[in-house]
Structure 1
């Protein structure tokens, strides 16, 4: 899979925006999904879990803390397996993914991790704000939402201002 100049069409430059996409989770279009090539764990924030009206009984115990790069520790409420679809019919993938559900404020609903991207055989371009992945019907792609990404980033900055 290659990325071409045309893949960046519509992206406002210059930018250093995160790759934020929409996925279908348990049948619902879920926005504000951060694609993080550096993260090792899929994360779902408790508020997103609740907004999807998922049964809390689906949460399985998970006792290990998640440790961020600044050594903060967050203990998940549990782990849940959910059906996730990337792409649009017929060029789409549907897989069962595990998410650590955490109760802490963040402007994203979900973070998709590097091992999931590898499982999808996905290639990402932060420059083009795009994810490409093979399906049985050919290569598909999902374009990031630059406006939403900038809004999420602004929300993070505002939250940091209030905590310092």
Structure 2
């Protein structure tokens, strides 16, 4: 995005990537984000965590930002609606661009998944036994099984 790294504020937050790997941000930055066109627009300061990894998107707006805008999202319709002083504004996404991003992310996930498999370590030994637990004391046929450690 062409932002100088000296503008980043150090952070000790960590993220879990879509492939399940832990990602450590380079820092955070607060940018002014304007959505839609004048006069039906909204401008808010948004704090982003900046990561150094290949990804199909330049940024991801999270629930806190969307909630502060009082936005309603529909991934099916590729649309965001948010209230304005003069009514409801809506932003329509681009179906072709969304499909290209989706294909790009699938290709990246395959690569990341391969890396995850190589880095996995066994943390716990496999479970040996199942214990049957009654779900309803008045109906002993209603049970479930849970894993237990073998003794």
Structures share fold, TM-score greater than 0.5 = yes
| Closer, same or farther: CA 64–162 of 1 in aligned 2, 3 Å | closer
Mind listing any 5+ residue stretches in structure 1 that lack a counterpart? 1-47
Report how many aligned residue pairs link the two structures.
113
Runs of 4+ with >4 A deviation:
none
Contact 1:90 1:137 in 2 (8 A): no
Higher strand proportion, which one?
1
- Kindly indicate whether residue 71 of structure 2 is the aligned counterpart of residue 122 of structure 1: yes
What is the CA-CA distance between 1:113 and the residue it aligns to?
A: 0.3
Distance 2:15 2:108 in 1: 20
**Rounded Cα–Cα distance in structure 1 between residues aligned with 2:67 and 2:20:** 26
In the other structure, the counterpart of 1:160 is 109
Q: What TM-score do the two structures reach when normalised by structure 1?
A: 0.63
Normalized against structure 2, the TM-score is what?
Answer: 0.68
RMSD over aligned CA atoms reads 1.7
**How many Å separate the matches in 2 of 1:150 and 1:159?**
14
Task: Give the aligned partner of residue 138 of structure 1.
Answer: 87
Q: Deviation per CA, 1:92-126, whole angstroms, max 9, x where unpaired?
A: 10001000000011111111101111000001112
Give the secondary structure class of the aligned counterpart of 2:60.
strand
- Whether the 8 Å CA contact 2:19–2:109 is kept in 1: the answer is no
Structure with the greater alpha carbon radius of gyration: 2
Higher relative contact order (CA 8 A, sep 6+): 1
